[in-house]
Amino acid sequence: MPIDPLAAPIVWSVAVVTPHDIVAVGLRTMLAATQPCLRLVDAEHEEPDVLLYDVYPLLDDDTSGLDYWVKETASTVVAMTRPLRPDLGALALERGAEAAVAISATSEEIVSVVLSACAGTLDDSAVALAAEHDTHLGHLNGLSPRETDVLRLVTLGMSNHEIAAELFLSVNSIKTYIRSAYRKIGVTTRPQVVAWCVRHGFPPPVG
């Protein structure tokens, strides 16, 4: 990706926040080795221009770290998503991360997203856009965003009337979405839906 030296600083600071040392070391080594315009910093001591945030802590509903970086700093936050838990990536974006990139992406793809974040061109990053698309649960099975919303609430144990109230839709509309979603994922009952959704990364039922 060409960098215009008149439009941006020569060197950008980048930090990695993850609970896993092996992930941190791998990403830092990769970034330092491929791009001299990137300076790797410790997020505990310096606020970086770009922060790669591993979504793993969101697995336990702990959003405090992400919320801090999104709300209290000027860093551009890029969520490092987990392919088997697209809901965590969706949550990170919902809470203010500016882009996403899969933790399983190639080094070239991750670097391209970081450079786009530095240059302020994330909206043009095909890699980031693809990663964001992949956070939409059920997309590989042809579910529409609305069908996904409905199945998510079914999985949480809501009735059709409760789902209708939550999504500001009629009960008949909810029934239509449920029927079409059932056909697409090949189930016929609510217990089957819950089992399918949990296997495919939807938040599990509460309690």
The predicted-structure confidence for 142-176, as pLDDT tens digits, reads as follows 888 789 889 989 998 999 999 999 889 999 999 99
Q: Which fold has domain 139-199?
A: Arc Repressor Mutant, subunit A (1.10.10)
Q: Where are the domains of the chain?
A: 12-134, 139-199
Angle value at C-alpha 44, between 39 and 48, nearest 5 degrees: 35
Q: Taking 60 as the threshold, does the pLDDT of residue 4 lie above it?
A: no
Least confident of 2-11, 49-58, 80-89: 2-11
Region 41-62 average pLDDT: 93
pLDDT tens by residue, 95-139: 999 999 999 899 999 999 999 999 999 999 999 988 888 787 777
What number of other Cβ atoms are within 10 A of residue 195's Cβ? Answer: 13
Longest CA span, the chain: 60
Instruction: Provide CATH code, domain 12-134.
Output: 3.40.50.2300
Which string of b and e fits 130-150 if b means at least 16 CB within 10 Å?
Answer: ebbebbbbbeeeebeebbbbb
